[in-house]
């Protein structure tokens, strides 16, 4: 047991032993109960390690709560004559626990002839687990429950055929038994124990069960010991039968079972053997007598470790005698244990008591004495940790509880580190009560954690110290970098206010009006002013300050604490409200006449409130003259057709008219209605061809092809999923239109749509294929408002074709757009193209414009090669891991107003006469611009990389930031307005003009190596200039503006001093 057990000594009075129900020996006091069992030898022989069977009613013990339900806490012990008690092996027969007749086999070490011994069965330990094991009890035991034959124990032989082994088809008990099946004549199976396996320390016996349900003809099943047959049968044994062989001499033995069939046709035999036990043998079994249940009387002392103790001689001492310790006395008189306690005045911090003061030991049981040692007084702090801002104070409450009746006065003292001052009021208490601890912190104390100690001292000398943790904070508040700067002109009608504060309350002042907010202390908080509604933080709308015309808003943040601090005031300008929608193509012009019952509308939303926008199509109901909301327009784009449209058509006498408009609303509650438009439909207008996903593939393709052949310009897909392989070859135009539509190929090997000829438009569709989505061999393809996704090529062109993409997403695992053999007059507008290899691949392409789009690829963002000319990439973001934009061949290709990101080559030109201008390049590792030919590079800013530029050709207004090696220039041409923030110039030029102007070069650039013959202007630098060949011509250096610059030739060194204009003249 976890609590220390104090066994009552028997040294007090010998007469008391008679009345005290504590027994001379108790094997383990973790077991609460035991039953003495007397075993009497009746055969007149000494029995050694003899197996005795005991039957006991465990059901009653378990029901009484004295024994575990699984009998796992049963233990058997043997009591030697000298009083030594040892644990002995036992086994509980299967399925007898928790019954009235639980059978327990126990291996008794020794029983003298005609004598008797005592063993004990212990129980009553809930934490104990079973040690029942028949193999520890019997000389030999086999029940085959391992599921296989153990070759270290057994040898199995079969001759003439037949099978043998362990089976679960039959068993005397448990799940398994040994079996043999002989299915023909002259077959035999032998099962024998290996040498030395069965060993009897005394005369023994063998018991087992067998069964032979099948025995055709005259067959034999026998059992022998050391070759002597003990049992046999030539007829069937139809049920499990016990076989016993007794009076077997001590020593080792071989047990053998044999099954065989005779030499007769149809002979067969099936036999089972189970539950083999070898145990001791006596001519007369010992008799067993169960005694009365016994309970060990033991004393548990709780809280014993609270104080150092000297235990009286009547109980077992834990710490030994000590003259300065408290004393616990437990004495025995008659059948009563009496407790008393003496508190030593040298231990004033504790007051102790014991209960009960007395207890009867009859009947025998367990007894607990609770030694309750509590502090003489208790001091607690609430809270035990406080926050105090520098320059202020805070308090905590001290609570006093007195447990010692001898205490009538407790005084308090306080100690604190430098910069902190503490006091306790009142300074003393005479009874239970509270006091206030006041801690002040000076302004000079740094932020951190400090400790203040409060000590209580009683009139009895008891002392107690408690620690109050003081977390010193400074009142901090400042704006983060994520809000507009003072004087900023904002683009949107949203004002973010992000700040750090050390307090949980702030006051935000906006245009002189204060708003108090609860925020998260010691962290960054972000609140915002929305245009039309109050923010979740409680701030008002921007509209309340600036209306719809825009205006200035000033703001700052105060941290509200014991000390108030604030940020600076910032003033920003917010623009006038812009919230409207413009009609876009394919919206018909006002007054358009149509011959097709289809109305497509699209709108461009302008909303500078940073809200979620929603567009709805409204039609004028000719019957009620009211506007009906007929359709939500995803991305402000949609359509209505056929009967849904005809329901709103008004017969004018010459045609039908339909009035329509777009209503725009946003998540801030704003609403705008575009000017209404009218469209006219002639009396002979045709309905739109419609397909639906319920059609079979044959009917679906027939409907589509028939519609195209009949001249239908629009085919509408009803919402759903379709599988198609369309081949379009027409001289006309056709638009595939749908909402909530997904197209996939029926045959993966073919594209979903192949265009051989015609003008094809894909509008608002989602298309996916594992190989090809769209292939254009000839003709014109327009994709808009769609999602194109492929595991190979998303869009592929193979001949002189036109492909235009707008407001769409295109993804191809190998290529988003793969165009060869003359893609021309095409555009990619406001779209996203992405791929793992090629984002866009153009070969022999001309007049292809990529505008206001993004291209993202893992290898090549955009590749231009072959005879590609006049292609334009502008207002576009291009990202790739290797090549951002790679112009491999071709000329007059333009990169303009774009952002290019790459890790190796941001922009690479292998050919000349191309242009990059007004662009920004981000390169992580190697080359910003890598140009092998003369190209026009102007107004380009390059960030990062090993080389900002590694180039041949002309450059104007070139800016390099963070390039480790700066710029390497070779070939011929000129550079004008070059800016570096780091790195070196490495210039090798053969041209006539080398550098027109440099700006903001670093203070030490390094050595400029020129092979050419003229520097026109060299701006503010500190550098050495070395001519490695003699200068030629009449004028070598026109002007140098700078200081501490050296111009060195093979023959002349010119050193300008200070700022000025200098000329170095040499004649050729």
Q: What is the pLDDT of residues 800-842, one digit of tens each?
A: 899 999 999 999 999 999 999 889 999 999 999 999 999 999 9
Instruction: Band the pLDDT of 32: cuts 50, 70, 90.
Output: confident
Average pLDDT, the chain: 84
More confident residue, 191 or 905: 191
Strand extents, DSSP E, 903-1029: 905-909, 915-923, 927-943, 947-961, 967-971, 975-980, 985-989, 998-999, 1007-1010, 1015-1018, 1024-1027
Q: What is the CATH number of domain 477-574?
A: 2.60.40.10
What the block records as the tokens of 73 is 């806490």
In this structure, how many other beta carbons lie within 10 angstroms of the beta carbon of residue 457? Answer: 17
What the block records as the tokens of 948 is 């900002």
What the block records as the tokens of 214 is 């099948």
pLDDT 10s digits, 731-758: 989 999 998 999 999 999 999 999 999 9
The residue assigned the tokens 């010692």 is: 404
User: Does CATH place domain 23-136 in 2.60.40.1180?
Assistant: yes
CA distances to 535, 555, 559, 565 from 500, in Å: 19, 15, 9, 12
Tell me how far apart the terminal alpha carbons of the chain are, to the nearest angstrom.
112
pLDDT at 950: 79
Contact 428, 412 (CB under 8 A): yes
pLDDT at 1034: 38
Whether 728 shows a pLDDT value over 50: the answer reads yes
Whether 316 shows a pLDDT value over 90: the answer reads no
Fold annotation for 377-473: Immunoglobulin-like (2.60.40)
Cα–Cα nearest to 940, from 957, 925, 954, 926: 957
Cα 572 to Cα 484: distance, rounded to the nearest angstrom: 7
Strand extents, DSSP E, 984-1034: 985-989, 998-999, 1007-1010, 1015-1018, 1024-1027
Strand 627-633 and strand 720-723: the pairing is unpaired
CA distances to 7, 311, 312, 357, 369 from 337, in Å: 12, 15, 13, 8, 10
User: Looking at residues 357-382, what average pLDDT do you find?
Assistant: 74
The pTM of this model reads 0.51
* Total number of residues shown for the chain: 1068
What the block records as the tokens of 785 is 């408002």
Cα 25 to Cα 83: distance, rounded to the nearest angstrom: 8
Q: What residues are paired with 658 via a beta bridge?
A: 679
Torsion of CA 762, 763, 769, 774, to 10 degrees: 20
Burial (CB count <10 Å: 0-12, 13-18, 19+), residue 423: middle
Vertex 311, ends 308 and 312: CA angle to 5°? 150
What ranges in 500-558 are assigned the alpha helix state H?
543-546
In this structure, how many other beta carbons lie within 10 angstroms of the beta carbon of residue 522? Answer: 13
What the block records as the tokens of 630 is 């007929």
Vertex 780, ends 776 and 781: CA angle to 5°? 70
CA distances to 129, 487, 595, 639, 684 from 622, in Å: 89, 53, 20, 19, 20
User: Looking at residues 960-971, what average pLDDT do you find?
Assistant: 71
| DSSP tag of 432 | S
pLDDT at 29: 77
More confident residue, 427 or 371: 427
Distance between alpha carbon 870 and the CA centroid of its chain, in Å? 50
Least confident of 513-527, 717-731, 961-975: 961-975
| DSSP tag of 17 | G
Contact 662, 615 (CB under 8 A): yes
Question: For the chain, what percent of residues have pLDDT higher than 90?
Answer: 64
Fold annotation for 140-279: Jelly Rolls (2.60.120)
User: Looking at residues 259-279, what average pLDDT do you find?
Assistant: 91
User: Looking at residues 794-802, what average pLDDT do you find?
Assistant: 91
Is the C-alpha dihedral spanning 488, 489, 491, 495 positive or negative? positive
Cα–Cα nearest to 407, from 462, 456, 343: 462
CA distances to 433, 435, 738 from 422, in Å: 19, 13, 77
Alpha-carbon Rg of the chain, whole angstroms? 51
Whether 325 shows a pLDDT value over 90: the answer reads no
Helix (H, G, I), strand (E, B) or coil at 389: strand
Distance between alpha carbon 609 and the CA centroid of its chain, in Å? 36
What the block records as the tokens of 367 is 């007894």
Whether 871 shows a pLDDT value over 70: the answer reads yes
Contact 257, 273 (CB under 8 A): yes
Instruction: Band the pLDDT of 607: cuts 50, 70, 90.
Output: very high
Q: What is the largest CA-CA distance in the chain?
A: 143
pLDDT at 356: 80
Least confident of 365-369, 607-611, 836-840, 1036-1040: 1036-1040
pLDDT at 1014: 39
Torsion of CA 141, 145, 150, 153, to 10 degrees: 10
Burial readout 939-977 (b: 16 or more C-beta within 10 A, e: otherwise): bbbbbbbbbbbbbbbbbbbbbbbbbeebbbbbebbbbbb
Question: For the chain, what percent of residues have pLDDT higher than 70?
Answer: 82
User: Looking at residues 1005-1023, what average pLDDT do you find?
Assistant: 38
Burial (CB count <10 Å: 0-12, 13-18, 19+), residue 485: exposed
Contact 270, 213 (CB under 8 A): yes
Instruction: Band the pLDDT of 416: cuts 50, 70, 90.
Output: very high
Torsion of CA 964, 970, 973, 975, to 10 degrees: 10
Output helix, strand, coil percentages for the chain, rounded to the nearest 5.
5, 55, 40
Instruction: Band the pLDDT of 283: cuts 50, 70, 90.
Output: very high
> What is the number of helices (H) and of strands (E) in the chain?
4, 97
Which strand (E) or helix (H) includes residue 701? Answer: helix 697-709
Contact 1050, 1026 (CB under 8 A): no
Contact 971, 931 (CB under 8 A): no
Whether 1061 shows a pLDDT value over 60: the answer reads no
CA distances to 501, 533, 549 from 553, in Å: 22, 16, 13
pLDDT at 333: 58
More confident residue, 369 or 821: 821
Cα 660 to Cα 662: distance, rounded to the nearest angstrom: 7
pLDDT at 982: 52
Cα 609 to Cα 613: distance, rounded to the nearest angstrom: 10
What the block records as the tokens of 315 is 């109980």
Helix (H, G, I), strand (E, B) or coil at 700: helix
Whether 1024 shows a pLDDT value over 90: the answer reads no
Per DSSP, the residues of 833-897 read EEESSEEEEEES-EEEEEES-EEEESSEEEEEESS-BS-EEES-EEEESSEEEEE-S-BS-EEES
Contact 414, 437 (CB under 8 A): yes
What ranges in 383-439 are assigned the alpha helix state H?
none
In this structure, how many other beta carbons lie within 10 angstroms of the beta carbon of residue 183? Answer: 15
Whether 998 shows a pLDDT value over 60: the answer reads no
Domain at 579-686, CATH homologous superfamily: Immunoglobulins (2.60.40.10)
Burial (CB count <10 Å: 0-12, 13-18, 19+), residue 247: exposed
Cα 670 to Cα 26: distance, rounded to the nearest angstrom: 89
Per DSSP, the residues of 481-496 read TTSPPTT-B-SSS-EE
User: Looking at residues 685-713, what average pLDDT do you find?
Assistant: 90
Q: What are phi and psi of 543, to 5 degrees?
A: -60, -30
Cα 1065 to Cα 1068: distance, rounded to the nearest angstrom: 10
Which strand (E) or helix (H) includes residue 744? Answer: strand 741-744
More confident residue, 166 or 535: 166
Whether 314 shows a pLDDT value over 70: the answer reads no
Cα–Cα nearest to 970, from 927, 1016, 934: 934
Q: What are phi and psi of 765, to 5 degrees?
A: -115, 155
| DSSP tag of 321 | -
User: Looking at residues 781-803, what average pLDDT do you find?
Assistant: 93
* Most trustworthy range by pLDDT among 770-779, 945-954, 1007-1016, 1049-1058: 770-779
Contact 462, 348 (CB under 8 A): yes
Helix (H, G, I), strand (E, B) or coil at 15: helix
pLDDT at 961: 77
């Amino acid at each position: 047991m976890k609590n220390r057990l104090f066994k009552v000594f028997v040294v007090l009075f010998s007469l008391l032993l008679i009345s005290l129900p504590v027994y001379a020996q108790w094997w383990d006091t973790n077991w609460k109960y035991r039953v003495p069992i007397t075993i009497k030898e009746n055969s007149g022989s000494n029995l050694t390690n003899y197996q005795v069977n005991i039957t006991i009613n465990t059901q009653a013990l378990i029901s009484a709560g004295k024994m575990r339900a699984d009998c796992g806490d049963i233990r058997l012990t043997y009591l030697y004559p000298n009083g030594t008690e040892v644990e002995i092996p036992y086994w509980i027969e299967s399925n007898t626990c928790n019954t009235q007749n639980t059978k327990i086999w126990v291996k008794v070490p020794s029983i003298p002839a005609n004598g008797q011994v005592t063993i004990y069965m212990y129980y009553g330990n809930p934490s104990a687990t079973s040690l029942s094991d028949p193999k520890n009890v019997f000389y030999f035991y086999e029940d085959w429950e391992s599921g296989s034959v153990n070759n270290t124990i057994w040898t199995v032989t079969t001759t003439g055929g037949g099978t043998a082994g362990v089976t679960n088809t039959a068993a005397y008990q448990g799940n398994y038994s040994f079996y043999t099946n002989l299915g023909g004549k002259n077959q035999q199976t032998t099962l024998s124990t290996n040498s030395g396996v069965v060993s009897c320390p005394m005369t023994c016996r063998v018991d087992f069960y067998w069964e032979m349900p099948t025995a055709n003809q005259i067959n034999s099943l026998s059992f022998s010991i050391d070759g002597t047959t003990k049992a046999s049968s030539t007829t069937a044994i139809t049920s499990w039968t016990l076989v016993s062989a007794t009076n077997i001499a001590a020593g080792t033995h071989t047990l053998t079972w044999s099954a065989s069939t005779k030499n007769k046709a149809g002979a067969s035999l099936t036999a089972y053997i189970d539950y083999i036990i070898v145990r001791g043998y006596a001519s007369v079994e010992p008799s067993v007598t169960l005694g009365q249940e016994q309970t060990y009387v033991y004393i548990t002392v709780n809280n014993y470790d609270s104080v150092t103790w000297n235990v009286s001689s009547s109980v077992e001492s834990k710490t030994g005698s000590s003259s300065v310790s408290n004393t616990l006395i437990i004495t025995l008189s008659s059948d009563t244990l009496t407790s008393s306690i003496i508190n030593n005045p040298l231990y004033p911090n504790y007051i102790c008591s014991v209960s009960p003061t007395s207890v009867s030991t009859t009947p025998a049981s367990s007894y607990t004495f609770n030694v309750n040692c509590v502090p003489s007084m208790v001091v607690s702090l609430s809270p035990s940790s406080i926050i105090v801002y520098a320059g202020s104070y805070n308090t905590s409450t001290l609570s006093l509880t007195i447990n010692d009746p001898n205490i009538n006065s407790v005084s308090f003292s306080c100690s604190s580190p430098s910069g902190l001052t503490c006091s306790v009021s009142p300074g003393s208490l005479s009874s239970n009560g509270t006091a206030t601890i006041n801690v002040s912190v000076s302004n000079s104390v740094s932020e951190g954690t400090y400790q203040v100690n409060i000590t209580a001292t009683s009139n009895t000398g008891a002392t107690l110290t408690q620690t109050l943790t003081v977390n010193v904070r400074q009142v901090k508040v400042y704006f983060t970098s994520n809000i507009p700067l003072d004087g900023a002109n904002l683009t949107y009608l949203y004002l973010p206010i992000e700040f750090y504060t050390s307090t949980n309350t702030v006051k935000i002042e906006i245009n002189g009006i204060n708003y108090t907010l609860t925020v998260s202390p010691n962290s960054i908080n972000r609140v915002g002013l929305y245009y039309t509604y109050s923010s979740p933080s409680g701030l008002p709308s921007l509209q309340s300050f600036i209306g719809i015309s825009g205006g200035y808003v000033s703001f700052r943040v105060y941290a509200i604490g014991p000390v108030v601090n604030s940020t600076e005031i910032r003033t920003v300008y917010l623009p006038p409200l812009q919230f409207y929608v413009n009609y876009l193509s394919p919206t018909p012009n006002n007054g358009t006449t149509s011959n097709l019952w289809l109305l497509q509308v699209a709108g461009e939303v302008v909303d500078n409130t940073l809200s979620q926008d929603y567009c709805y199509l409204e039609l004028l109901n000719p019957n009620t003259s009211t506007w009906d909301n007929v359709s939500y327009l995803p991305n402000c784009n949609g359509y209505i057709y056929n009967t849904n449209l005809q329901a709103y058509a008004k017969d004018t006498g010459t045609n039908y008219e339909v009035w329509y408009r777009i209503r725009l609303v946003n998540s801030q509650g704003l609403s705008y209605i575009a000017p209404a438009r009218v469209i006219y439909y002639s009396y002979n207008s045709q309905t739109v061809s419609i397909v639906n996903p319920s059609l079979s593939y044959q009917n679906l393709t027939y409907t589509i092809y028939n519609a195209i052949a009949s001249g239908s310009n629009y085919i509408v897909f009803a919402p759903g999923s379709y599988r198609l392989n369309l081949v379009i070859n027409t001289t006309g135009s056709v638009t595939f239109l749908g909402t909530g539509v997904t197209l996939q190929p029926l045959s993966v090997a073919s594209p979903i749509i192949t265009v051989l000829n015609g003008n094809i438009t894909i509008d608002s569709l989602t298309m996916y294929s594992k190989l090809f989505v769209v292939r254009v061999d000839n003709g014109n393809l327009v994709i808009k408002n769609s999602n194109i996704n492929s595991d190979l090529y998303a869009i592929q062109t193979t001949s002189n074709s036109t492909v235009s993409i707008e407001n769409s997403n295109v993804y191809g695992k190998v290529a988003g757009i793969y165009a060869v053999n003359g893609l021309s007059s095409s555009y990619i507008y406001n779209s996203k193209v992405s791929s793992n290899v090629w984002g866009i691949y153009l070969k022999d392409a001309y007049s292809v414009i990529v505008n206001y789009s993004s291209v993202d690829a893992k290898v090549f963002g955009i590749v231009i090669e072959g005879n590609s000319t006049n292609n334009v990439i502008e207002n576009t973001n291009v990202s790739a891991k290797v090549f951002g934009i790679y112009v491999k061949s071709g000329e007059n290709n333009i990169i303009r107003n774009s952002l290019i990101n790459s890790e190796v080559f941001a922009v690479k030109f292998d050919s000349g006469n191309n242009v990059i201008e007004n662009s920004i390049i981000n390169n992580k590792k190697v080359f910003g611009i890598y140009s092998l030919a003369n190209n026009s590079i102007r107004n380009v800013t390059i960030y990062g990389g090993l080389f900002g530029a590694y180039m041949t050709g002309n450059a104007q207004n070139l800016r390099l930031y963070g390039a480790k090696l700066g710029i390497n220039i070779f070939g011929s041409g000129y550079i004008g307005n070059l800016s570096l923030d780091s790195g070196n110039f490495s210039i090798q030029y053969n041209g006539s003009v080398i550098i027109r102007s440099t700006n903001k070069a670093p203070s030490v650039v390094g050595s400029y190596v020129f092979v050419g013959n003229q520097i026109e202007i060299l701006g503010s630098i500190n550098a050495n200039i070395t001519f490695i060949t003699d200068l030629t011509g009449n004028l070598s250096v026109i002007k140098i503006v700078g200081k501490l610059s050296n111009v060195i030739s093979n023959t002349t060194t010119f050193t300008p001093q200070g700022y000025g204009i200098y000329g170095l003249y040499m004649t050729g």
